[in-house]
Chain A
Amino acid sequence: MASAEVVWKAPSVRRARAKSFVWSAGPILAAGLVAFPVLVVLANVFVPATDVWSHLANTVLWRYIGNTVWLVLGVGLGTLIIGSGTAWLCSMCRFPGRSVFEWALLLPLAVPTYAIAFTYAGMFEFAGPVQSALRDWFGWGRRDYWFPEVRSLGGAITVMTLVLYPYVYLLARAAFLNQSVCALEIGRTLGRNPWQSFLGIALPLARPALVGGVSLALMEALSDFGTVQYYGVDTFTTGIYRTWFALGDPSAAAQLAATMLVFVAALILTEQWSRRRARYHHTTNRFRPLPTYDLRGWRAALACAACAGALGLGFLLPAVQLAVWTIETWQQTIDLRFLGLAWNSFRLAAMTAVVAVIVTLLVCYAVRLRTNATGRVAKRVAGLGYAVPGSVIAVGVLLPFAWLDTAIDDFARAVFGVSTGLLLTGGLAALIFAYLVRFLAVSLNAVDSAMAKVTPNMDGAARTLGAGPDAVLWRVHVPIIRAGLLTAGLLVFVDVMKELPATLIMRPFDFNTLAVRAYELASDELLAESASAALAIVVVGIVPVIILSRAITRARPGEAAGSS
């Protein structure tokens, strides 16, 4: 750093003011823009309640609420336990297979929820191969035995937990790897055993990351449509869908959506409130390699089995089933157009990831600069889109964009006598914007928890040395939170690869993606035929997931330079 020239220059006051305005108004504008589609939908709340609302309240509303609450509790608890447990094992313990599990545990992230739902139902339902084989072997009839019903609330919780736990694993592992050894050592000198260090020190210290991970998993569960619909579980999401599109009542649907968002907001606020003034950044920047616990005998076997279970059920089993189906059907399903689908999926995901990371970085940093309530609220609001079903967001994006298109078109016709047609909604721009609305929460969470670990003293020091806010961002924060940015980008990438409802409604003519192909065939009850596309999503998704995993391992401060 000695070579960096730091020459103090008096900046012009006007420029400084303009910049300061950009940094304070920027994030609010950006967040407002991203939150707009959600607000468009919610604006329907102010339309007086129709008779549909009372019909819902009298018949199905309580079922929606009950199922949704159980789903959230189940998936929240499941992902927390599996995610943080495996993360701790892989960061702090040594046991056979750890070096593989370390990255492989992230693989379920590449499996779309609807794909695992289809495969599990296909394997374990009454008419599926497993139960049929059992009946054949033992000569059982329909009522002679008990087998858990896959297509049920419990089944939905299980399959969602299995593919969503990597969100918690990912953020928890990054937090464990970045934790200060000092706190753990102090714990040990005070007589804590490994379990007590985990539960009493590491978990509470990793709280921002854990909360970030679990809330991502929960929002994903809340907005899921494919799984709950296929499993016959009525949640808010299926209710919104049915009320809006089948009953044709957008305002009652919006009221359902609003009820759900209030629920989400309450969860987030409760968590924030219970944290209150606690801060989680390090007090020291001395880093040493983490001490690891050597596991032997049954402990090692248990650790190994736990990781293998999560990996096997969340990834291997569904992937193998998809592969089997693909082998059965590849001659009908894989052709040149299939490559086009893969390319479309890939480029949409890559473009969205780049845009999302840049927007997130700027928003997070601006909020950090001006620690006022407006910025924080704006950030929260911008993240809400993740909990809203994609189809609802799509309509929320479509309405204002189409309005804008018509306005531009009217203007062009009046002034220049030409029609501009559909400038925005006709192409990919509106679709990418919809992805941003939906997935900004993912990158916000990742960048936020990375930035929370950078002590404000750093900013202070840099500013004292004369660096402006831009320079602090690019030269201090970006290098430090590189891993966080990468995480954010790759998570968005994988999410967009899997995204379905918004893609379905907003894509241009003759533009299909792997997810659209997989869904079209699966929803037309051609499960085996849909497998090749689903498998391709998984395969394309694996690459970034592996990069991600390696990056985190290498991201422990102080370790890159080999300073051990």
Chain B
Amino acid sequence: MPVTSNYTHPIRMGRQLIAGALVVLVGLFSAGSAAIADGEVNVYSARKEALIKPLLDRFTEETGIAVKLVTGSPHQLVERMAAEGRNSPADVLITADAGNLAHAKAAGLLQVSESPVLEEAVPERFRDPDKMWWGLSLRARVVVYAPDRVEASDLTTYEGLADPIWSDRLLVRSSSNVYNQSLIASMISAHGEQETENWARGVVSNMARDPKGGDTDQIRAVAAGEGDIAIVNTYYYGRLAASTKSEDREVVEQTRLFFPNQDDRGTHVNVSGAGIAVHAPNPDNAMKLLEYLASPAAQALFAELNHEIPVRNGVAASEIVGAWGAFKQDELPLSKLGDLNRAAIELADRAGWR
């Protein structure tokens, strides 16, 4: 007969399973309380773990304050802070661009942080006028080109990228990316919506392919010849140059960097930055962390880790970044980028910049 059974009696098995599951669940619930104790600071970071953890570790070494970290996309971290409300364990919110900090500020999630140390370290246009967030490291949105196919003199300004001479030669990622949104926002601020929309249409019609991938992909595609120029952030280029892989460094050898708009308003820059949460359980430690991140030592680490430009005057950039030389920066206060973010996205949709 096929039905002879040699396994645990099903009723017992089922009950054991349920009992086991209950034990597990109870364990989970009790293990769940977030740390709110002295000597700690809780960080919500939209900067990737690999790029922020070394700085936080150094902070702990120097101050003895333990840092608890959770990373994620900026929008979702902001949603999480909002949902958690008054009980939110978050002390510090770190993002990789000013737009998202402005968004958190608008949602009422940040508090004013009065600090002479920060005011001295962070230049005025890289911080919130209401002192709710502070820029920590700079990146420029530049053009990477293939010198064998591009006359350097043809490259002038962002505006020039809409010129038909770049038809089927331009590479850029999707407008879903905040770096492009901020670039478009800076164009709106310089020229108004209508003119910027025409510009965006020109950019779209010059694209060598539909936007896809990230900035590194655009640089690689220029080196491989899929397009001749690409709009990218500086640190991606710096990272390739510093790569341990020879094919990455070859990509850099086959391409050049160009800082647009040097003769007028300057190259568009953005910051990664941080602010203190409105319900921060450890506001004093949070302030210590911000002041540490703006200190010369931490600024030098920013420069070294990710080839960004320190916001603090007098701190040297990494060797690779230093070699590109000084350049003129767009003076637009970065808080403006957050205000124009939504207009920029809608404009991109209308222009067909997907």
Whether A and B are associated in the same complex: the answer reads yes
Task: Say which residue of A230, A403, A521 sits within 8 Å of B50 (CB atoms).
Answer: A521
Q: Does B72 contact A (CB under 8 A)?
A: yes
Q: Does B112 contact A (CB under 8 A)?
A: no
Decide if A355 touches B89 in the complex (CB within 8 Å).
no
Decide if B32 touches A429 in the complex (CB within 8 Å).
yes
Per-residue CB proximity of B314-340 to A under 8 Å, as 1/0? 000000000000000000000000000
Contact status of A422 and B32, CB under 8 A, knowing A242-B176, A328-B245: yes
Given the complex of chains A and B, what is the CA–CA distance between A126 and B3 in angstroms? 60
Given the complex of chains A and B, what is the CA–CA distance between A383 and B148 in angstroms? 56
Q: How many residues of B contact A (CB 8 A)?
A: 76
Measured between beta carbons, the chain A residues less than 8 angstroms from B226 are 126-127, 142
Task: Say which residue of B1, B80, B210, B236 sits within 8 Å of A232 (CB atoms).
Answer: B210
Contact status of A429 and B28, CB under 8 A, knowing A402-B84, A508-B70: yes
Contact status of A510 and B29, CB under 8 A, knowing A242-B345, A248-B342, A561-B4: no
Contact status of A560 and B2, CB under 8 A, knowing A354-B20, A478-B10: yes
Task: Say which residue of B4, B28, B73, B88 sits within 8 Å of A427 (CB atoms).
Answer: B28
> In which size bucket is the chain A interface?
35 or more
Decide if A475 touches B10 in the complex (CB within 8 Å).
yes
Q: Does A406 contact B (CB under 8 A)?
A: yes
Per-residue CB proximity of B44-64 to A under 8 Å, as 1/0? 000011110000000000000
Q: Does A72 contact B (CB under 8 A)?
A: no
Q: Does A432 contact B (CB under 8 A)?
A: yes
In B74-128, the 8 Å CB interface with A consists of 75-77, 79-80, 83-89, 103
Measured between beta carbons, the chain A residues less than 8 angstroms from B342 are 247-248
In A544-560, the 8 Å CB interface with B consists of 557-558, 560
Decide if A429 touches B25 in the complex (CB within 8 Å).
yes
Tally of contacts, chain A with chain B, CB under 8 A: 205
Q: Does B194 contact A (CB under 8 A)?
A: no
Q: Does B216 contact A (CB under 8 A)?
A: yes
Q: Considering only CB atoms, which chain A residue lies closest to B90 in the complex?
A: A509
Measured between beta carbons, the chain A residues less than 8 angstroms from B17 are 354, 358
Measured between beta carbons, the chain B residues less than 8 angstroms from A63 are 354
In A517-564, the 8 Å CB interface with B consists of 517, 520-521, 523-525, 528, 557-558, 560-561, 563
Decide if B349 touches A1 in the complex (CB within 8 Å).
no
Q: Does A339 contact B (CB under 8 A)?
A: no
Given the complex of chains A and B, what is the CA–CA distance between A231 and B211 in angstroms? 9
Q: Does B39 contact A (CB under 8 A)?
A: no
Decide if A427 touches B29 in the complex (CB within 8 Å).
yes
Given the complex of chains A and B, what is the CA–CA distance between A255 and B94 in angstroms? 31
Contact status of A355 and B211, CB under 8 A, knowing A399-B83, A475-B11, A509-B34: no
Contact status of A355 and B11, CB under 8 A, knowing A398-B83, A509-B34: no
Decide if B76 touches A127 in the complex (CB within 8 Å).
no
Decide if A561 touches B2 in the complex (CB within 8 Å).
yes
In B3-47, the 8 Å CB interface with A consists of 3-5, 7, 10-11, 13-14, 17-18, 20-21, 24-25, 28-29, 31-36, 42
Decide if A232 touches B32 in the complex (CB within 8 Å).
no
Task: Say which residue of A142, A351, A402, A419 sits within 8 Å of B85 (CB atoms).
Answer: A402
Decide if A557 touches B2 in the complex (CB within 8 Å).
yes
Measured between beta carbons, the chain A residues less than 8 angstroms from B11 are 470-471, 474-475
Q: Does A139 contact B (CB under 8 A)?
A: no
Q: Does B174 contact A (CB under 8 A)?
A: yes
Contact status of A246 and B181, CB under 8 A, knowing A508-B70, A525-B214: yes
Decide if A405 touches B225 in the complex (CB within 8 Å).
no
Task: Say which residue of A247, A398, A426, A528 sits within 8 Å of B345 (CB atoms).
Answer: A247
Task: Say which residue of B4, B13, B73, B83 sits within 8 Å of A504 (CB atoms).
Answer: B73
Contact status of A59 and B28, CB under 8 A, knowing A126-B221, A142-B225, A232-B211: no
Given the complex of chains A and B, what is the CA–CA distance between A326 and B341 in angstroms? 38
Given the complex of chains A and B, what is the CA–CA distance between A63 and B103 in angstroms? 28
Shortest beta-carbon contacts, A-B, top 8: A427-B32, A232-B212, A245-B75, A127-B224, A525-B216, A509-B68, A402-B83, A426-B34
13 further contact pairs, Cβ within 8 A, besides A142-B225, A521-B48: A230-B213, A232-B174, A246-B345, A419-B87, A426-B33, A426-B89, A505-B76, A505-B80, A509-B35, A509-B89, A516-B71, A525-B217, A558-B2
